[in-house]
Amino acid sequence: MRYNEELEKAKLIDLQILGLGHNGHIGFNEPDHSLISGTHLVELKQETRAANARFFASIDDVPREALTMGVGTILKAKTILLVVRGADKAEIVHQALTGPITTELPASLLQTHPHLVVLMDAEAGRFFSMNSLVIQNAQVVTEQRTLHRGTVYVQNGLIQSISSDRVAKSDFAEAVVIDADGSWLLPGFIDVHVHGGYGADFMDASSDSLDTITRFHAASGTTSMLATTMTAPHGDIERVLQTVQRYMSGPMPYAQLLGVHLEGPFISPRWPGAQNVNHITLPQRAWLEDWHERYPQLVRQLTLAPEREGALELIAWLRDHGIVAACGHTDANYADIQSAVREGLSHAVHTFNAMKGLHHREPGTVGAVLADSRISGEVIADGQHVHPAAIRLLEMAKQPHGLLLITDAMSAAGLGDGAYELGGQAVTVQAGVARLTEGGALAGSTLTMIGALRYMVREVGVSVEDASRYASGNPARLLRLDERLGSIAPGKQADLLLVSPELELQQVWVQGKAMQMQL
């Protein structure tokens, strides 16, 4: 169609003005399981025709079909203005903008847009207090216990109260009340080691890629994350820092970026994994000093090989500046790790992978991580990187606060098998497993955090409560953000997950705002 072609040429709509149908349609996009993006012909439902009959001599004269711009195209606009008038629209606009996001209610998809402006008259807005949410009849996992049939009250993006009492809807007349029907209510996942997803990589250093990554992982339960870099030239890493700092100063409509995890380039050439050996360099304290001055508090974690020249000095500097010093891609022996811990090393990335293994006469990096309670350890729980028995061993060694679930996801996460790239190297994904095309080394993963939680419960045998702590509470503690993130408690950020008894993700809230579950 010519209209569609012109839209494609324009690339971006500055302002999209919409009305709202009585059944929640926008732009005549009727409720449906599959919403088309481009301009298309749609069959109007009877209630839509009846609502528009006032503009015609009779309902028989109302068209049965309409030419419409698809929701996918609408959502690409820079700004969307939704105009709603009249008491007859009050209930549907309230449901659309505060309830679950679903294609059965097309207007609910507007919740995902970062620049939505809603203009309502008093009658249309009479049910509104968009900042209040009540989730009841849930298995609420807190740090102290699980409340069966519990209730959580959220206002202005923060958790206000938690109780074991069921409330009447009239008690919260201005709030959205959701009946969890016995599902788990968990704190949002915090992924401290993730490279990308859904075709995008943090090394792309573009706001579009950051939107893609945070949107994809939010739909899989990640509510906060560290943008993780690869071993790369100084300039490439700097571009990521610039982009992330700029992105974090904006609204961040999906999962929240907490900062940057620099994985490399100060690693061992003996254990590169999927890192590009051509860009490995000795530790450069001057780089970190410069970045810390120009991007204060942005770098949250640095992964390095502590046995390398200059590493101990850098670890001490990281400790003094509140940055997590982590070992990874390292050939360090037991004594090397012990020396590093004395300087401030406190964490191990993707434990067991890309590090000197355990031997009974030389415990190596793995032995030092297992034996030292001062070191927390990540694990990639995907059934490919680490055997479940090894994960159980790590869990026993790191109880209760020392084990963290991560994805180490690369751009192929959320997509199918095929050819991809990671850190400038070709990657082949087959049966969901990512490997370097040349050499066959594991190249990150296609894992999501909800997938990691399921694996821990189903294959490793931990409780939902423990798996939740490894995916949320412990990462928050590592980053020293546990006063506001990582658990369900009054005063903390309302980053919440509704998860069915079968561990299917039903809904995600970031700061009390519902995320779109379908990409």
Query: Two tokens at 333?
Result: 């022996």
Q: Is 408 noted as a catalytic residue in this protein?
A: yes
Cα distance between the two ends of the chain? 25
237 by DSSP, 3-state: which?
helix
Q: 129: buried, middle or exposed (CB in 10 Å: 19+, 13-18, 0-12)? A: middle
Long-range contacts of 421-430 (CB under 8 A, 24+ apart): 421/201, 422/195, 422/201, 422/230, 422/274, 423/203, 423/230, 423/231, 423/232, 423/274, 423/275, 423/276, 424/232, 424/276, 425/274, 425/276, 427/274
d(CA 449, CA 189): 7
Residues paired with 120 in a beta bridge: 84
Amino acid identity for residue 185 in this structure: L
491 by DSSP, 3-state: which?
coil
CA 338 to chain centre: 34
Phi, psi for 259 (deg, rounded to 5): 145, -155
**Going edge to edge, which strands form the sheet with 222-228?**
189-194, 222-228, 256-263, 299-304, 324-327, 347-348, 376-380, 403-406
Residue with structure tokens 């050819």?
A: 419
Q: Which residues contact 61 (CB under 8 A, 6 or more apart)?
A: none
CA 402 to chain centre: 21
d(CA 45, CA 24): 12
Q: Which of 204, 331, 372, 408 is catalytic?
A: 408
Question: 3-state secondary structure string, 361-383?
Answer: CCCHHHHHHHHCCCCEEEEECCC
Asked if 281 contacts 265 with a C-beta cutoff of 8 angstroms, the reply is yes
User: How many residues are present in the chain?
Assistant: 519
CA distances for 35 relative to 3, 26, 28, 336, 370, angstroms: 18, 11, 11, 57, 50
Annotated catalytic sites, by residue? Answer: 408
